Amino acid sequence: MEDCIFCKIINKEIPSSIVYEDDKVLAFKDISPAAPIHILIVPKVHVANVEALDPQTVGCVADIHMASKKIAKLMGINEKGYRLITNSGTEAGQTVMHLHYHLIGGMTLGAKIY
């Protein structure tokens, strides 16, 4: 999508602090981190959110989850634990309408996620 900031980051039109990339996903540091480690993982295919997934795009969720394991290991938090979150829709707090997951860790996170 032409006006999608994450698509522009994927296309390297906007700089970001990339921590991981493969042919299906891109992961970069969040500019407003909620924890010492806060990485955004986005599929390279544009999908607005979970509600927009269809049989042709649902595989990107598996790609994100597999990448999250690699990223957690790269960040040194795979054994201690991390949180993987996605928001779907504005009432859930989604501000960029491109499916993305937040990988958060590097500190003790409480049981509540809100």
- Which sequence positions are flagged as catalytic? 100
Exposed e or buried b per residue across 34-48, where buried means at least 16 C-beta atoms within 10 angstroms of its C-beta: ebebbbbbbbbbbbb
C-alpha to C-alpha distance for 99 and 45, rounded to whole angstroms: 9
